[in-house]
Amino acid sequence: MRNIIKNGQVTADEWLLLREESHLWPAQDVIVPLEVWLSARLAHSHRSAPWLAPDADIATLLPHLADLPLIAIDFPAFTDGRGYSLARLLRERYGYAGELRAIGDVLQDQLYYLHQTGFDSFAVREDRDATQALAALQDFSDGYQVTWRRAEPLFKRVF
């Protein structure tokens, strides 16, 4: 079991991430590719959740949002910023309220922005120390824009 950051703390992860498009799921909570999840979720004995590639078409997921305990968004490279937009869409446009997890090339220096756009759990890359990364959630005490975490832009709050 690996450590992740969740709700501002380092905790042991309950979920197993399956990268491959396999239908053979171990008997535990699993995060699987979106397509596989859509077709095989009902046969699983434990909880299951989809992970999205950055170019995922989220339309197929929308009917399930209310029931999902977790959605993961993959960052193939930390420089690939598509996941930030996906997160805001899921949170702000479609009202997804469950756990939203960043997986893949997730590093300390992106944590603050990820959190702002709606992620609340972070599978920090395994060769990095999640505890050290945790502090990055406090990198900035305020910001200019409207985000999932800030309902009003700065210009409506400062004077």
Whether 110 contacts 81, CB under 8 Å:
no
Identified binder of another protein from the candidate list 19, 85, 97, 131, rule CB under 8 A: 85
Binding to another protein (CB under 8 A) within 115-144 occurs at: 116-117, 139-144
Whether 114 contacts 84, CB under 8 Å:
yes
How many of the chain's residues bind another protein (CB under 8 A)? 36
Residue 59 sits in the site that holds another protein (CB under 8 A): no
Residue 147 sits in the site that holds another protein (CB under 8 A): yes
Identified binder of another protein from the candidate list 41, 47, 64, 88, rule CB under 8 A: 88
Q: CB within 8 A of 129, min separation 6: which ones?
A: none
DSSP-assigned states of every residue in 111-158? HHHHHHTT--EE---TTS-HHHHHGGGGS-S--SS--SS-SS-GGGT-
Whether 32 contacts 156, CB under 8 Å:
no
Residue 79 sits in the site that holds another protein (CB under 8 A): yes
Identified binder of another protein from the candidate list 16, 17, 107, 137, rule CB under 8 A: 107
Binding site for another protein (CB under 8 A): 55, 78-82, 84-86, 88, 93, 107, 109-110, 112-114, 116-117, 139-147, 151-156, 158-159
